[in-house]
Structure 1
Amino acid sequence: MAVTKIHEDDDYVIVNKPFDMFINANDENEKNTVACHIASHDSHLSTSLNPLHFVQRLDYSTSGVLCIAKNKKAAARVGRLFEKRLTRKYYMAVLRRHLQFDVADIKYAIGVDESSDGAHRMRAVRAAPPPCAARAAHTRVLALESGAYCGQPASVVLLKPITGRTHQLRVHCTTIGHTILGDYTYSNREDTAPHRMFLHATRLVLPFQNKTLDIQTEEPFFTDQQFASKWESEKVFFKYRSKEDFVSLCDVIDENRVDGLRYQEFCFQE
């Protein structure tokens, strides 16, 4: 599967990462990586002749916008934006079942799941105070469309991670009862029928001092005939399939508009 470059300048290359692809790997026999597609196999290592700096991570199963720095100075610059939570990231996802809200905030802390039998899994902590190993996490969700996938209830949503924890979107969605369609890990290895996990990093905004990089992909799911042929729409709450409509939705979720919408907050219960 090809890796498409969306933007490139002297400091950064930003790509549209395919699903089911690693970002990089220390195993020289592993060729299914972004690094292999756009540079040398060892480009993520400091010993490389032309090292790249992977300042952002996307899971193997997640597709979408991925920013890579070409030098240490550029990596430090974008790293500060991520650390100070000045970047804006927006994801599209398809969730199992219909939602009982239009917009929601999920504020469960996230820590390592010690009961996962060696599998790399995280878990949400729904009791206060959370254990010291868990870290505060916050995700905002906006319902876009309800329908059915292969006859089973499903929902298309916009996700905005306010924080950036490992597997945050996947864990938060699962914790509120709406596992991402095709998420093998957080469905306890049961959701195996879909050809991919339906989580896509659709837009990334990097507000540098001299300029703002605003990078967006095309709508990721309905252009995929394997998905579109199995989807039956029931109700569209917001238009979102064009780039212009998607930007307008980002404004809605940024401003946390709840007027006229069913709102729910998921947080610690004392």
Structure 2
Amino acid sequence: MSEVDGDAAGWSQGTMDAEYRVGGQDDFEPEAEETSDAERRGAEVDAAGHGERLDRWLTGLAPEFSRNHLQALIERGCVVTDGKPVTKPAHKLRAGQRVEIELQPTDESRAFRAEVMTLDCVYEDEHLLVVDKPAGLVVHPAPGNWSGTLMNGLLARHPLAATLPRAGIVHRLDKDTSGLMVVGKTLEAVTALSRQIAAREVHREYLALAWGRVEEAFVVKQALRRDPVSRVKMAVAPANLGKPARTDVFPLGVGEVQGRPVSAVHCVLHTGRTHQIRVHLTHSGHPLVADALYGGVPALGMSRQALHAARLGFTHPITHEALTLRAPLPADLAAAWAEIGAAGLPD
């Protein structure tokens, strides 16, 4: 459904794992500190534990936690031996010592909590909403971003989000890609939207600034897969090794930055693979402006990839009305766009 994770069959009803069912309406009050979630547990080191590493010994005292998490708790000062804090996981224990630990929840378990935030909704009814996501907002909790995500905001916005897979999110945009995302507010809507995505019945159009001169329309039909060298990147691949992907690219204007051409382009997705537009344009010799991951150097004041999900079209999952929604360019991209004098999104 998006430049990042569109054709996601796994986002259907079958993905409603227990970890996403975060409780009743009381869970939607913002919480500053969660120390009440901590549990204290202690025991005396027996003869078998003499000389054992602290982190390894704690896996027997708290087997429900991973060793990595226990190591983090030790380093945070959550463990004491004989009343004295110990912050080194490799600390060797002695028989007869009393060890106590404050067991705090993992970051993952804290992730699915409501956080009040301002969301720019361009459309909303009782079944769904369409958000104009700003650049910099992560869509879904993941390592390094366990809070402050769109999901956290959705959990605070409407109580039913807690009963839905991924709080109703049926597709994603990259953190630094701005623009439109549709979110289901009921299970019926989530299921129907996921089916539209899988059937490629959702229309997605993007605006982008790319290095190089694009004066004629072209189509990229390169299969994509995870980059075999860098796991944070995607790469083009032979058809038998990757997933099919198609991007149509249309020129909207060409300018120059320090003697180098920069093109404004209109991209239409036929699939929604991870990083699809970014990889397809880079493969075509036109990396996005300020897309550091794929070699696009900054220019025109852009500090993030110059990519915006500008138009989204789909069938309302309940009323069956045809909806087409637009999101104007955000301030950073609008200023860069104006500097090269490019045309806007065609009707």
Q: Within 5 Å, which residues of 2 pair with 1:209-228? A: 210-220=320-330, 224-225=334-335, 227=336
Aligned match of 1:178: 286
* In structure 1, distance between residues paired with 2:229 and 2:304: 25
* In structure 1, distance between residues paired with 2:224 and 2:243: 5
* In structure 2, distance between residues paired with 1:50 and 1:78: 13
**Percent sequence identity over aligned pairs:** 26
Decide whether the 8 Å contact of 1:107 with 1:139 is kept in 2: yes
Aligned match of 1:198: 306
SS in 2 for 1:86: coil
Aligned match of 1:61: 176
Decide whether the 8 Å contact of 1:64 with 1:200 is kept in 2: yes
Q: 1:49 to 1:82 in 2, by over 3 A?
A: closer
Aligned match of 1:121: 233
* In structure 1, distance between residues paired with 2:122 and 2:257: 30
* In structure 2, distance between residues paired with 1:200 and 1:19: 9
Q: 1:28 to 1:95 in 2, by over 3 A?
A: closer
Report the CA distance between 1:49 and its aligned residue: 5.8
Decide whether the 8 Å contact of 1:26 with 1:42 is kept in 2: no
Q: 1:136 to 1:27 in 2, by over 3 A?
A: closer
| Aligned counterpart for 2:249 among listed residues 141, 158, 173 | 141
Q: Give the unaligned 5+ runs of structure 1.
A: 241-245, 249-270
Aligned match of 1:163: 271
Decide whether the 8 Å contact of 1:24 with 1:44 is kept in 2: no
**How many residues are aligned here?**
227
| Aligned counterpart for 1:103 among listed residues 203, 209, 217 | 217
- Report which of the two has the higher share of helix: 2
Aligned match of 1:70: 185
Say which structure, 1 or 2, has more relative contact order (CA 8 Å, 6+ apart).
1
What's the Cα RMSD here?
3.0
Once the two structures are overlaid, the 10-residue window that deviates more, 68-77 or 179-188, is 179-188
Aligned match of 1:37: 153
Decide whether the 8 Å contact of 2:138 with 2:145 is kept in 1: no
Q: TM-score, normalised by structure 2?
A: 0.58
SS in 1 for 2:303: coil
* In structure 2, distance between residues paired with 1:38 and 1:194: 28
SS in 2 for 1:204: strand
Q: Give the unaligned 5+ runs of structure 2.
A: 1-116
Q: 1:111 to 1:49 in 2, by over 3 A?
A: closer
Alignment partner of 1:94 is 2:202? no
**What is the identity, as a one-letter code, of the residue corresponding to 2:236?**
A
Q: TM-score, normalised by structure 1?
A: 0.74
